[in-house]
Chain A
Amino acid sequence: MALSEQDILKRLMGQRDRVSAAAWLVVRDAHAAEDIFQNVALKAMTKGAQFESGGALMSWAFITARREGIDWLRRRKNAPVCLDETILELLEQEWADEALGQAGGRSQALRDCLGELPAKSRDLLKRRYFDGHACEAVAEQLGTRLDAIYKRLSRLHQTLKKCIETKLEQPAG
């Protein structure tokens, strides 16, 4: 039986971070990625598409997000170099598999972990991903070398990943 619109929206909202992240990999702009997710949700609700399963819905959502992202890039000058589509497809497939097999809580865990970061680390992430500055600009703003910014970002992403895994391993309640 096809998913109801209520199911569609519930599942999409549950995978919002992943679908937005897939769009971000194309456009490298978090605000554009959020807009793309909203468009994907709206299309799922209004285009009369039928989804027989959660897997079918998520595949469609990732593909639609990618296409919307590519359209967004075409409308811009100085767009970033986009990954090869075969790699994007691999990434999307892994996201879709993960979405089916993983319980909720991951999104909240990430938000909790961000809240636990020192102010300096959070500031670096904000400059790079919320303000959308290139690493060169962030290095200049912070008066540090570009290499140091890459190292700090790399470690921060790993720290957050471990923090999420730790939180998800903790028994509920």
Chain B
Amino acid sequence: MALSEDQNELLLRHLNGQLGPSDEAKAAELLRGDAGARAFLRTVAEQAVVVADVERIGQHRPQPARVAAPVFRPWKWAVAVAAAFVLLAAFVIATTPPRHVAKVSAILGPCQFIAADGKVRDEVKVGTVLRVGDTIRTRSSSAWVKLDLNGGSLMTIAGRSRLRLLNVDGRRGFQLAYGNLWATVAQTAGAKLVSIQTPTATVEAEAAQFDVEAHSSTTIVRVNNGTANVVRLADGQAADVVADHLAVVAISRNRPFAATRQPEPVNQWNCRLHAGSGAVSGKWLPPDEKNSVRLGAIPLLIGKKTTLYVASFSVQCSSSPPVLIESGSRVRIRGTTQTDGPVYFGITTQRIKGVFFGKYTAKVGAGMLGQAGEPWQVEVPLSQFKPEAKHLPGSPAGMELSDIWIVSQDENAELEIHRVEFLPKEVGQ
């Protein structure tokens, strides 16, 4: 039975928490006995959470303005002129768009700050403000930096990434030279579009949540909320990428360029080293009698006198659907090392169709790798991966896998990788 307007309002007053005991009893009675009342309450609740969800992306917080009409008296002219000047200045300040800056709000691992004037700082702290021309680099696979832009927008770069603030007319410009970026662009009064340039694409958004993976010849843009406009630099073709869609922007004009729906997630991944596309850090080595595919780790100088040897593999670059991390998932790696020392496996995770989540690493001791120089195959269950930040839960189960990396601290280990797999939990587990 349809509810009367009074009954609807009674339920809204109940939700507002302002009913007296007798009206509360009436509301409870109505809800117990009337399916229509319960349907209305469910409708309100669903609409409330969706309103909040939508507003989180398109935040709009206009500042309340109060205009007072001044009363002029001859003896107050001097004061009035001064007040007018102050009001004018306040108006100019209030209507001038905020400057294009980004403030470091969280950081982990080795990073480097290169100021616009060329000064380099190898230690970056929370609170550092980047201005136009400044660059920030995350220098190892386990590093990440979260940036707070004006107006509630956020960006995270992670892994080996390099981001510079650009001076772009009418835009908040960024250059992602390489690496991974997650962005939440909130729509705020007076805020400009965010424009991200990569080696092959320009990505622009006014209100959206998306991620970008940039390499020298390819950029992958995934939009989870809102819309991003993507331009292929090779030929100027543009496409609007809407929520749940992605675009792969190659440097070649012969490659297709269109927004496509993001595929459904899977729970396993084989990096397809034969095809080569999943490896994003490393050098290809000639095949030998034992292995037709060999990716050697490359040195990464992550700070003064500190070098790591890294091979890394990206889910998106291998053209795989998103990979869901389950509580029983396993990482299986095949490779060789020439010395008796540990290697480290790492994974980068993000929320399903969402923002950067965190990094997890596992140490693989020399004992698990067998005799130096002999091929090894190591399977590490998810439970052995430890979070790289205090705020992270112990397990990334329920998140999405972004990439896997393997690191050695020893140059003489000559770490090379032959196979990378992410496996679902075993049957019966």
Contact = CB atoms under 8 A, between A and B. Distances in A.
B253 interface: no
A153 B28 contact: no
Interface string B1-41: 00001001100111111110000100010011001001111
B397 A34 contact: no
A91 B5 CA distance: 21
Nearest to A147: B9
B32 A90 contact: yes
B13 A150 contact: yes
Interface residues of A, number: 55
A21 B39 contact: no
Nearest to A150: B9
A165 to B, nearest CB: 11
Given A28-B15, A130-B55, A150-B12, A87 B32 contact: yes
A85 to B, nearest CB: 11
A135 B16 CA distance: 7
A125 interface: yes
Interface in A27-48: 28, 30-31, 33-34, 41-42, 44-46, 48
B327 interface: yes
Contacts of B48: 21, 24, 30, 128-129
Contacts of A44: 398
A6 interface: yes
Contact of B51 (A94, A130, A136, A154): A130
Interface in B154-179: none
B122 interface: no
A157 interface: yes
B38 A21 contact: no
Contacts of A25: 41, 45
Chain B interface helix/strand/loop/mixed: helix
Given A46-B395, A110-B50, A135-B18, A6 B28 contact: no
Nearest to B351: A38
B11 to A, nearest CB: 9
B265 interface: yes
B42 to A, nearest CB: 6
Contact of B324 (A9, A114, A128): A9
B42 A94 contact: yes
A3 B395 CA distance: 20
A33 B12 contact: no
Contacts of A158: 8
A43 B147 CA distance: 30
A158 B44 CA distance: 9
Contact of A6 (B324, B393, B395): B324
Interface string A79-123: 011011011001100110000000000010011001100000000
Contacts of B28: 83-84, 87
B350 to A, nearest CB: 14
B84 interface: no
Contacts of A9: 265, 324, 352, 398
A173 B321 CA distance: 25
A67 interface: no
Contacts of B24: 81
Contact of A125 (B15, B17, B51): B51
B379 interface: no
Contacts of B275: none
Given A6-B326, A83-B31, A110-B50, A42 B45 contact: no
Nearest to B8: A154
Contacts of A90: 31-32, 38
B324 A87 contact: no
Chain A to chain B: the 8 pairs with minimum beta-carbon distance, closest first: A30-B52, A21-B45, A45-B398, A130-B55, A5-B326, A80-B17, A129-B48, A20-B49
8 contacts: A21-B42, A34-B52, A41-B398, A42-B397, A46-B393, A87-B31, A111-B54, A114-B51
